[in-house]
């Protein structure tokens, strides 16, 4: 109640009383940001301090209730927006998470089959900031990066088990961003039995996923549209898969009738899984090579080898805005080297998963890579993550995965 007394403009209608007093108010500037759909707010965007990690009702500068948010005192992110809610009492945690999880599942209904891997919750885009949930068959893997979500796992996990019949729920909370919230780095079985490996089936292609040890939550689910594109283009092609991880692109290419696929990665385990994947799918023509991609490319002499289809999917080079300059050079050099390896009319599928690199900046980098080459390069298509990774129009930085389909035109 105390905090509501600070609401300015007493001539404005006062919000209805809220039983537990969990209220946060935006200042004038933040009010206009909220109207434009901003998801994150710092302490100086708010009138008065926040207390602890809680679900709160958010009021705008004029004292109007505008939605709900999660608070945090441990990082700079004092408030994360988590959608609107009907008038009346603030929901309890179970009511809130049940409604949001159900909505996220419904939003994806009919998009993906039961054997597919799928992102069920994509943070802010599902009004659940700080929560990611991926489904790999009977296993759910989640990642929590907001203190309120972390503190609510006791409510979330039973809901997931109940609604989705998960045999195992795993927390892959080994992401660096948790450090900013003072949350520990850990991988933990939250429910059920320890399942080390699962198979997901994407368009008839089997992929192996290791929930406890694989990258991210186990697999690069977000590249589904690019895998489909590669499969479509691959017939009869010699394919080079750079930064291949478990060969998601190589296997898709071979399934699409590629003549051969050469997967390059520095991780031995990833390449083993790529080979296992090829065997499981009855695919031939996969070659793997453990190497640093930069060394591998440097080692190829001009005119040495050519490929009809190259996939270039490096890890995020720019982990912060500060690193963007170096990252731009890295992307430019890699793309240039890849373009040089293309056979006439060859295709390059080039990706950037760096949040700090916008689509226009990435296109500009590709343009610089192509400048001065003895052939023209066409930009055929732009792709992003699949529809289970929705992007808010108001949050362009949530469009982290950018993929361009380029073609050598002679």
Nearest approach, Cβ of 107 to ligand SAH (angstroms)? 24
Of 56 and 208, CB closest to ligand SAH: 208
Residue window 346-375: x/- pattern of binding to ligand SAH, with contact defined by CB under 6 A: ------------------------------
For residue 394, state whether it binds ligand SAH (rule: CB under 6 A).
Answer: no
Nearest approach, Cβ of 381 to ligand SAH (angstroms)? 17
List all residues 6 or more positions away from 92 whose beta carbon is below 8 Å from its beta carbon.
Answer: none
Which H/E stretch holds residue 198?
A: strand 198-202
Of 7 and 230, CB closest to ligand SAH: 230
Token pair for 263: 């997967």
> Do 244 and 268 touch, CB atoms closer than 8 A?
no
For residue 331, state whether it binds ligand SAH (rule: CB under 6 A).
Answer: no
Nearest to 358 by CA among 314, 312, 388, 318: 318
For residue 134, state whether it binds ligand SAH (rule: CB under 6 A).
Answer: no
Classified as helix, coil or strand, 212 is coil
- Only segment of 162-170, 262-270, 272-280, 334-342 that touches ligand SAH (CB under 6 A): 262-270
For residue 245, state whether it binds ligand SAH (rule: CB under 6 A).
Answer: yes
Q: Where are the beta strands (DSSP E) in 236-369?
A: 238-242, 260-265, 286-290, 307-312, 342-352
Nearest approach, Cβ of 110 to ligand SAH (angstroms)? 25
> Annotated active-site positions, please?
353
Nearest approach, Cβ of 293 to ligand SAH (angstroms)? 4
CA distances from residue 288 to 31, 121, 276, 282 in whole angstroms, order as listed: 53, 33, 11, 16
Token pair for 298: 């440097």
- List binders of ligand SAH among 190-219 (CB under 6 A): none
Nearest approach, Cβ of 72 to ligand SAH (angstroms)? 29
d(CA 136, CA 152): 22
For residue 220, state whether it binds ligand SAH (rule: CB under 6 A).
Answer: yes
Nearest to 378 by CA among 390, 389, 366, 392: 366
Residue window 290-329: x/- pattern of binding to ligand SAH, with contact defined by CB under 6 A: --xxx------------------x-x--------------
Q: How are beta strands 205-209 and 198-202 bridged, if at all?
A: antiparallel
Question: What is residue 32's DSSP assignment?
Answer: H
Of 72 and 223, CB closest to ligand SAH: 223
Count of positions on this chain that bind ligand SAH (CB under 6 A): 17
Catalog residues that contact ligand SAH under the rule CB under 6 A. 220, 223, 243-246, 248-249, 265-267, 270, 292-294, 313, 315
């Amino acid at each position: 109640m105390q905090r509501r007394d600070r609401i300015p403009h007493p001539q404005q209608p006062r919000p209805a009383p809220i039983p537990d007093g969990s209220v946060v108010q935006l200042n004038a500037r933040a009010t206009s940001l909220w109207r434009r759909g901003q998801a994150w707010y710092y302490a100086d965007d708010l009138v008065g301090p926040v207390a602890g990690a809680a679900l709160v009702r958010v009021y705008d500068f004029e004292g109007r209730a505008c939605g709900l948010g999660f608070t945090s005192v441990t990082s700079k992110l004092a408030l994360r927006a988590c959608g609107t809610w009907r008038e009346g009492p603030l929901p309890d945690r179970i009511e809130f998470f049940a409604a949001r999880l159900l909505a996220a599942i419904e939003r994806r209904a009919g998009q993906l089959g039961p054997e597919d891997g799928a992102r069920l919750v994509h943070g802010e885009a599902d009004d659940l900031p700080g929560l990611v949930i991926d489904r790999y068959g009977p296993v759910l893997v989640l990642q929590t990066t907001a203190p309120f979500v972390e503190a609510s796992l006791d409510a979330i996990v039973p809901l997931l088990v109940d609604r989705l019949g998960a045999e195992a729920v795993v927390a892959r909370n080994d992401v660096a961003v948790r450090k900013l919230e003072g949350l520990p780095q850990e991988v933990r079985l939250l429910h059920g039995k320890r399942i080390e490996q699962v198979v997901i089936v994407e368009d008839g292609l089997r992929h192996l996923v290791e929930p406890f040890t694989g990258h991210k939550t186990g697999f690069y689910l977000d590249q589904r549209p690019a895998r489909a594109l590669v499969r479509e283009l691959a017939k009869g092609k010699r394919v080079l898969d750079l930064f291949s991880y478990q060969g998601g692109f190589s296997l898709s290419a071979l399934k699409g009738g590629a003549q051969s696929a050469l997967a390059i990665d520095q991780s031995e385990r990833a390449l083993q899984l790529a080979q296992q994947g090829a065997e499981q799918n009855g695919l031939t023509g996969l070659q793997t090579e453990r190497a640093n991609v930069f060394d591998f490319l440097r080692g190829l002499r001009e005119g040495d080898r050519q490929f009809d289809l190259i996939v270039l999917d490096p890890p995020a080079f720019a982990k912060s805005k500060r690193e963007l300059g170096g990252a731009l050079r890295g992307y430019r050099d890699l793309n240039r080297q890849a373009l040089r390896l293309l056979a006439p009319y060859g295709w390059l599928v080039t990706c950037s998963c760096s949040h700090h690199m916008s689509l226009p900046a990435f296109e500009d980098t590709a343009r610089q890579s192509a400048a001065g080459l003895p052939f023209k390069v066409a930009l055929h298509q732009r792709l992003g993550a699949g529809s289970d990774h929705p992007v808010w129009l108001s949050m362009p930085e949530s469009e982290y995965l950018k993929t361009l389909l380029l073609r050598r035109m002679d």
